[in-house]
Amino acid sequence: MRAFVALELPQAFASDIAALSRQLKHAVEGRFLAAETYHLTLAFLGEATEAGIASAIEAIEAACTNAAAIPLRSDGLGKFGRASDATLWLGIAATPDLMRLAETVREELGARGVAYDGKPFKPHITLARRVRIPRTDLPPLAFPLNDEASAVTLFKSTLARDGATYKPLYTARLEAKPS
């Protein structure tokens, strides 16, 4: 099965992203993703066996033990690909806590022999695919308010003609930071 490990987004943060996405739809052509698919990928596993899934769960448990909730702060828009056929994303600030969690998840996966895409970690949330980036300025945008993520989830990804659907297979909770 196709799988990935991701930070789940708090509802308020995801709602703010959906509002940003609606603003962008007026200025940018593309296939915008549904709000329920928003997540921040820590490690993409690709095709994984049942044994690989079991090992990935162990890796998530180990990586998340005593880990604190992760601050989420918008860090502008970006794209992968060409301006005429791009993936549009919302950048998330690469805080030390976020970068450490991603590194630890990847180390724990590697220690258990779970293969993952080794591209450098770029914290982002995909907003749209097959986008045409306009040559004009974007309108003023309301970016999400700062929040924190408290769940790391192993997802099964099923690709379909109308986009991917994600099913949570396992979730580890991160500790809330003291106020």
162 pLDDT higher than 80: no
Residue 135 to residues 119, 153, 175: CA-CA distances in angstroms? 29, 37, 43
Determine the pLDDT at residue 18.
Answer: 97
Determine the pLDDT at residue 165.
Answer: 86
Determine the pLDDT at residue 177.
Answer: 60
Determine the pLDDT at residue 138.
Answer: 85
C-alpha–C-alpha distance, residues 110 and 91, integer Å: 26
Q: How many CB atoms lie within 10 A of CB 145?
A: 12
Determine the pLDDT at residue 109.
Answer: 97
Q: Tokens 């007026």 sit at which residue?
A: 26
Q: How many CB atoms lie within 10 A of CB 22?
A: 11
Q: What is the mean pLDDT of residues 159-164?
A: 80
Determine the pLDDT at residue 178.
Answer: 56
Determine the pLDDT at residue 68.
Answer: 94
Determine the pLDDT at residue 84.
Answer: 83
Of the listed ranges 12-21, 77-86, 145-154, the one predicted with least confidence: 77-86
User: What are 45-77's pLDDT values in tens digits?
Assistant: 999 999 999 999 999 999 999 999 999 999 999
Q: How many CB atoms lie within 10 A of CB 170?
A: 16
Helix, strand or coil for residue 38? coil
CB 108 within 8 A of CB 126: no
